Amino acid sequence: MDIQLHDKTFASFIAVHEIKNAVGIVANEINSFYKQKTPVILPVLDGAFVFAADLAKQLTIQAKFSFIKYKSYHNTQSTGTVSQLLGLDIDIKGQDVLLVEDIIDTGLTLHYLLAELKQHQPASIKIATLLAKPDALKVPLEIDFKGIEIPNRFVVGYGMDYNGLGRNLDGVYVLKEADTDTRAVR
């Protein structure tokens, strides 16, 4: 089923059951890795709020949560510039930090964010994401907990938006373009 957001049409891309499965896999990996630790989990707003909430429900470890907000997108394109909108409000010195992202494409936001967080001297920093676009990466980036790899296409839903719309969609939708494959890469 296609949906219309502003002036763009999006096609169904990743079904709800596939997302739930990916969240479960990521949660199990995090539970195993942090079994004897209490990480500080930092979802990157706005997009990661849905993934972070579903992930939190499946975590069996003890964890502290705080939120940060950075922006690098305008319309359907990464701007290449990262703006901090809501900064760190918890002391992470000597603590294990887990950044939670909805999607990683160019990696520029996380590259900038990692440099910022390292200045606070955490014991470790790991990255979890629901979606990753390996073909879009512009900087080397190690993703520790990854749900689904997708091609370099613009997506909305499950927290991700197009100019403010689409975050509330249960599934993930891809920008519809002529003669393109809309299947996710597994």
Burial 92-116 (b: 16+ CB within 10 A, else e): beebbbbbbbbbbbbbbbbbbbbee
Query: Of these residues, 89, 96, 105, 179, which one is catalytic?
Result: 105
- Residue type at 168 in one-letter notation: N
Pairing of strands 155-156, 145-149: unpaired
Provide the total of helices (H) and of strands (E) in the chain, helices listed first: 3, 11
Residue 62, classed as helix, strand or coil, is coil
Please indicate whether residue 144 is annotated as part of the active site.
no
Catalytic residue annotation: 105
